[in-house]
Amino acid sequence: MARRDIRSLSREKTIVLALLIQLFVAGFSSFLVVGLTSLYDPSSVAAGEVEMAVTGDAREELEAAAAEQDGTSVTAFESEAAAQRAFNQRQVDAILRGEYVPSTRGPGEQIQVTAVVPEGSIRSTLIVVEVRRVLSALERQERLERTPYLEQPPVPLPDTVSASQYFGFTYTILIPLLLFLPPFISGSVAVDTVTEEIERGTMELLRVAPVSLLDIIDGKALGMVLLAPAQAMLWLALLSTNGIAVSNPAAILLFITAVTVVVVTLGVVLGITLQNRRPAQLLFSVLTLVLFGGAVLLPEHPATTVAKLAVDSPTLLTYGHVGGAVLLAVTGYTVARVYIGRVAAEAL
């Protein structure tokens, strides 16, 4: 029965379509990786130097702070008007005007910096980021000089190393997203196959065949369950060809399979109970969302479980979640079988 369902699926080319969609999602996600992260932290894209004009009586301090930064070069201007002219002629990208003023926060003096950045330019995001870097460096310098006045000295910053900005994003968002999509689609299709047989009245035909209803349901569910880990495996292979190493693939696949079983069981039960595609699908989407959101209450969210396995930082808790998911899948499906066996015979 499972073979029949899978075969009919592949014949309908819908699998091809599904894979295409996934490829599209992959393209979309990698676009998100590059696009969003570079927007979120434009400094990750080496975009040439940002030229800044510094004026005011704290300009030496500003120059010293900017000297630490790679992406920035500064020019000191004696007069504000000259700096403004350079800004208007686009010779500099930003003006930093530093003045010593009496502090608004207590005794002593502080540096009041007015940063002028261009508005509505594509580069303005990048420029603001660079301005922030320079000013943060200035703040660190000044704090260091004033350490004697502080109760507790600031913790020194670790050195900078060149690291991928996308590392955390890839493992905590992208990989869980890619791996949880197949179970969801499988569950949704499970709802479809069950309700469609009922709505079209073809369930009758199937029942004439020498198989029990439970066999039919088993077959349909198995087909859907096998699909998701296969897709997940495809993803892992694709990712590793892209140079993203995913650790513990076996544990991840086991976890995804267990999640798929849970989701597909939910779909099948909803399909059998409601017998109508629309309410069943609607309820399925809502319930899956609730389940996924409700998983926040677990000590570790399933997405984090996948992330920790993939990045190779699993703890005992992580393996506990994998075990728990398998347990839930097995018990869930057993209970569902009992339920279906009881309900289906008279209702369908």
Partner 1 sequence: MQLDTLLRVAKWEVTKNAGGVDKRTILVMALSLVAMGAVAAIAVSGGTGAGMDDGIYRIGVDESSPYYGVAADDSTFDIREPDPAAVERRQQELLYRGTQLRSVPRTAKERAALTELRDSTAQYNDRTLARDDNQTAAFPVSVTLVYEQQSGSSQLDPRSGDGSGGSDSSDGSGSSTGGSGDGSDTSGTGGSAASGGGDSGTAGGSGANLGAIGARLTGDVQGGTPSDISPPFPFESLVLAFLYIVPMNFVIQAYGSSMLSERLNRRGELLLVTPASRGDIIGGKTLPYLAGAVGVAALITAALRFGNIAPAGSYVAVLAVVPLVVLFLSATFCGAMFARSFKELTFVTVTITVTLTSYAFVPAIFTDVTPIALISPLTLVVLDLTGQSVGLSSFVFSTVPPLLTGLVLFGLGAGLYREEDMFTQRPIPLKVLDALAGGINSRRSALKMSIVLLPLVIVAELAAIAFLFVLDSVSLNVFGTNQSLGIVLVLGVIVIIEELAKSLHVYAGYEHARYERTLRSALGIGALSGLGFFIGEKGLLIARLSDLESLPIGEAALQGATLPAGLPLWVAGLLFMLPLALHTVTAAISSVGASRGRRAYVAALTVAIVIHFAYNFTVVSTLV
Subset of 189-208 contacting partner 1 (CB under 8 A): 189, 192-193, 195-196, 199-201
247 — phi, psi (to 5°)? Answer: -85, 170
The least distance separating partner 1 from the CB of residue 210, rounded to whole angstroms, comes to: 25
Q: How many CA atoms lie within 13 A of 102 on its CB side?
A: 2
Binding span for partner 1 by CB under 8 A among 255-263, 272-280, 323-331, 336-344: 272-280
Cβ–Cβ under 8 Å, residues 260 and 182 = yes
237 binds partner 1 per the rule CB under 8 A: no
Paired tokens of 55: 């004026």
Report which of 125, 105, 155, 148 is spatially closest to residue 43, judged by C-alpha positions.
125
Of 289 and 330, CB closest to partner 1:
289
Q: Which of 10, 212, 313, 334 binds partner 1 (CB under 8 A)?
A: 313
Angle (CA) 167 170 173, round 5°: 130
Q: Which of 116, 226, 234, 348 binds partner 1 (CB under 8 A)?
A: 116
Cβ–Cβ under 8 Å, residues 300 and 322 = no
Binding span for partner 1 by CB under 8 A among 97-105, 205-213, 215-223, 325-333: 97-105
Query: DSSP string of 45-97?
Result: S---PEEEEEESTTHHHHHHHHHT-TTEEEEE-SSHHHHHHHHHTTS-SEEEE
Cβ–Cβ under 8 Å, residues 53 and 87 = yes
Of 164 and 331, CB closest to partner 1:
164
Of 283 and 328, CB closest to partner 1:
283
Q: How far apart are CA 96 and CA 112, in angstroms?
A: 10
Cβ–Cβ under 8 Å, residues 339 and 208 = no
Three-state DSSP at 20 gives helix
Q: Which of 210, 297, 316, 346 binds partner 1 (CB under 8 A)?
A: 297
The least distance separating partner 1 from the CB of residue 258, rounded to whole angstroms, comes to: 19
Neighbouring-strand partners of residue 103: none
The least distance separating partner 1 from the CB of residue 153, rounded to whole angstroms, comes to: 9
Q: Which of 132, 242, 323, 330 binds partner 1 (CB under 8 A)?
A: 132
The least distance separating partner 1 from the CB of residue 233, rounded to whole angstroms, comes to: 20
Which residues 145-164 are close enough to bind partner 1 by CB under 8 A? 146-147, 149-152, 154-164
Paired tokens of 40: 């979120």
Which residues 169-188 are close enough to bind partner 1 by CB under 8 A? 171-173, 176, 185, 188
Report which of 160, 123, 115 is spatially closest to residue 48, judged by C-alpha positions.
123
Which residues 15-54 are close enough to bind partner 1 by CB under 8 A? 17-18, 21, 24-25, 28, 31, 34-36, 38-40, 42, 45-48
Cβ–Cβ under 8 Å, residues 79 and 129 = no
The least distance separating partner 1 from the CB of residue 142, rounded to whole angstroms, comes to: 4
Of 28 and 330, CB closest to partner 1:
28
Of 16 and 211, CB closest to partner 1:
16
Of 160 and 241, CB closest to partner 1:
160
327 binds partner 1 per the rule CB under 8 A: no
106 binds partner 1 per the rule CB under 8 A: yes
The least distance separating partner 1 from the CB of residue 211, rounded to whole angstroms, comes to: 21
Report which of 168, 182, 323 is spatially closest to residue 244, judged by C-alpha positions.
168
Neighbouring-strand partners of residue 211: none
240 binds partner 1 per the rule CB under 8 A: no
Instruction: Determine how many CB atoms are found less than 10 A away from the CB of residue 223.
Output: 23
The least distance separating partner 1 from the CB of residue 291, rounded to whole angstroms, comes to: 9
